[in-house]
Amino acid sequence: MRFLFSCSILGKEAAKLRKLKRYKPTKFMAEGSRYDKEAADAAVTFINCLKHTKGEWYGMPFELIDWQEQIVRDIFGILKPNGYRQFNTAI
């Protein structure tokens, strides 16, 4: 599965996308599930392309901090053997 997103992230901004250097999938991974790095990267890239629409940060891009990126990667990157996401709901 291939995901493509285009947003104006260049140079230093692109480096920020890879700030979570030591990602380790959740300990709650079901037997047979696998981590799909491409799907997780697509979700993180998509969120980083979004911009705030109100308030003090109007127009500034979203910037996930490490624990937020960990959660996004777990939700969108861990797939069951049938190819569907293991986690469909997060609180």
Among the listed residues 7, 24, 2, 22, the one whose alpha carbon sits nearest the alpha carbon of residue 63: 7
Domain boundaries, the chain: 30-90
* Predicted local confidence at residue 16, as pLDDT: 53
* Predicted local confidence at residue 29, as pLDDT: 87
Q: Would you say the pTM of this structure is higher than 0.75?
A: no
Q: Quick one: three-class SS letters along 12-68? A: HHHHHCCCCCCCCCCCCCCCCCEECHHHHHHHHHHHHHCECCCHHHCCCECCCCHHH
Determine the Cα–Cα distance for residues 57 and 71; give it in Å rounded to an integer.
23
* Predicted local confidence at residue 24, as pLDDT: 78
Largest CA distance in the chain: 45
* Predicted local confidence at residue 15, as pLDDT: 47
* Mean pLDDT, each 10-residue run in order, the chain (91 residues): 52 52 79 93 93 94 90 94 91 79
Tokens of 52: 């705030």
* Predicted local confidence at residue 91, as pLDDT: 79
